Each structure stands twice: as C-alpha cells, then as structure tokens.
Structure 1
C-alpha cells in the first residue's frame, strides 16, 4: 500500500501531497535515484525504503510490471516472485469450505498433520497403530483413504462449478470430522458411528447452502441440491 504513494510520486500525480513532495524533498532530483537525508521524518524514510525495493519495476518513470498500472496486489506478487499454483488450491481455497476445514486441508496438502507415524518419526514414544480400526499404521493415507471407517463416505467430484465446490467442501468436512473422531478415540476412547458423522457433515453443508444467495443457483443446481438432501 505504501508502494502506491511511491507510484504517485513517480508519475507526478496531480495531488497537493505529490506537489509538496516534489517541491520540498525532490527539488528536481530523479525520484528513482533519490536518497533521503538522515534528519528526514520516519514516514518519509519508510516511503523511500519501499521505493528502493520497487525501483527495478520501473522504466522511464512508469511501473512496467503490470500493463494497466500499479496495484498493491500486482506489486506484492512481483516482490514475492512467481510461484506456480499448486494442484490442490481449488479444493482447499473454495468458498463453500468452512475455514477450519480449509486449515485441515492445508495441513494435509503440506504433509503437516501430526499422525502417530509422523510423531514416531520425530522420536515420540507412542503406539502408531490406527486407533480407529487397529489394523494398520496410522498414516495420513491410511486414515483418510484406506481405513474402513473413512471408506464409509466417499464421493466422486464432478458436475457444475457449484456442485464441484460443494463436493470438495464435503470432502474436507469429512477429513476434518475423521480427524476429530480420531482425536476423541485416542484421547477419550469415544468414537461416533459413521452414520452420525455423515449426518453431521450433511447438516453443516445444509447450513452453508442456506447462507448463500439462492438466486445465483440455476435450476439444475437446485435439483442436484435436493437430490443430495442439501436443500429443503
């Protein structure tokens, strides 16, 4: 956001503040080469520091990183460097997904979920058998894909954008609920039956659907929601 002030000075924007900066600080100096004096205010020195970070993005006094001119978002992407989009971003950062479920999906995408197999790898003295089925080592793959408990609710994601979004949201809700049940099973020796967990996922998704503008849903999506028992 401070970079926007840098850009205003660079293009000599028609504003009282920019004219004041040119008359009192720059005094005809090139803005990209300008260095503030030590007795300048902290705010002005900060603006100049940001300018020094951005100077490589200017040519002939104009911001050449974006064709339509400077924006804070564009400058941020330029400063952090180009990064390819990961394959899972549309699944996790999906507007239908509840934020706490998004965090769980993000942890799994980064292999950062503290399953017992990971804790044993860290040197923790703990039984690493799946506490739900007691049939295999508790890894992320086993807990969410191979365990008989998690296999009870599996959906193929296809259809319109809305349908895919809701299916992804339900998948992440399932992951969250399985992890929640795993923790209750390990810490409290309590485990809900899969039917109750599935019912809770449906209820959460119904609440999510109720909170959205139904006018944005077409007839096919509404029929699909009714078929999925997500729309009353």
Structure 2
C-alpha cells in the first residue's frame, strides 16, 4: 500500500482525483452481499440493524460461544431449553423464536393477495429486524434476570415498533393495495 501511495497510484483515475477513488484504492471494492438490503435499509432502526448484522456474522455471544471460552458451564438454549444455543438455533430453530416469528408473520399476512410492493418489503424487513432484536433482548433478560415473557408479548412489541416506523416513514398517501394492507394490519396512515 505504501508503494502505491508513493507512486501516486491513487491519482491515476482517468477523471482525476476523486475522494471515492482514493477510498476504493485504500480499502478495495467489496462484493455486495445478498442480505445487505435486509439489514441496512432506510426504514430500519439502527440498533436493530446492528443486531441483524451481528447475527449474519455469527458474532453474538451465544451460550455455545460462552461455554467454549469457559464463561458458562452449559450451552443449552435459554429460551426453549431444547438444543445448543447457536445463532442458527436461536434465530431459526428455537421453538420460542419460531412462535414469535409466526405471530408476526400471521399479522403481516396479505389476505388480499395483491403481491409485494416496496412498502410491504420495507415493513417486513423492519419487522424481521425487530423480531431478532427483541428475541436477543429477551434471551439476555432470561440469562441475567431469570425471567421470560411469552412469545406473544414479544410479537406485540414487534407490532408496536413496526407501527411506529410506519407512522414515521409514510407521510403521504400510498397505493390502494398498500393502503388496504396497512389498514388490515391495524395501522392508521393518512
């Protein structure tokens, strides 16, 4: 890298020097991962996105990781007590998490079958991140306070968070199909 800097390689862009070309020269160009838009989207809550990003990178301190480094004596899932707590288990296979996701999925179902739209896609992304965030929060609450709320309660918290995001982002009328769906899921917009 130092040789490239000393030889002015970063200035060899045909358009002249651009900050973007200097940045790309320094850091390189990374491929766009498939899940990027699901995590880092305009409607998302930043702390939810951070947890989503950590999940995708399997970087949360699950019970399996804590046992491996000697902090815990068990790696059992704290939410369902039925399996080793890994990222895959906690956010996909865990009975507790599945019940939360099922509650939210049923709520967001489009009974009118009008297909997907940008609004619906964004709302579903916000809901998924909120589910993951609240499942992780509940898992930590269970670990540190020895308390566990019912999955339906977590599902209702997801609904509340998603409705707040909808109210914040939808400031103008949407198409009839989206509007009908928003009414169906109990969101009063415009």
Do the two structures share a fold, i.e. TM-score over 0.5? Answer: yes
**Larger Rg: 1 or 2?**
1
Pair 1:201 & 2:158 matched: yes
Structure 1 runs of 4+ off > 4 angstroms?
A: 51-54
1:217–1:77 Cα change, 3 Å: farther
Deviations 1:131-184, CA, capped at 9 Å, x for gaps: 221111111111111111111124399711221111011011101111111111
Q: Which runs of 5+ in 1 are unaligned?
A: 1-48
Is residue 84 of structure 2 the alignment partner of residue 127 of structure 1? no
Q: Quick one: higher RCO (CA 8 Å, sep 6+), 1 or 2?
A: 2
Q: The residue matched to 1:215 in structure 2 has which SS?
A: coil
Which residue of 169, 178, 186 maps to 1:229? 186
For the Cα contact (< 8 Å) 2:96–2:151, is it kept in 1? Answer: yes
| RMSD between superposed Cα atoms in Å | 2.5
TM-score by length of 1: 0.68
CA distance in 1, matches of 2:7, 2:188: 50
Q: CA deviation at 1:89?
A: 0.4
Matches within 5 A, 1:159-198: 159-198=116-155
Q: Secondary structure at the match of 1:96?
A: coil
Q: TM-score, with normalisation over the residues of structure 2?
A: 0.82
Answer yes or no: is the 8 Å Cα contact 2:11–2:17 preserved in 1. Answer: no
Corresponding residue pairs, total: 177
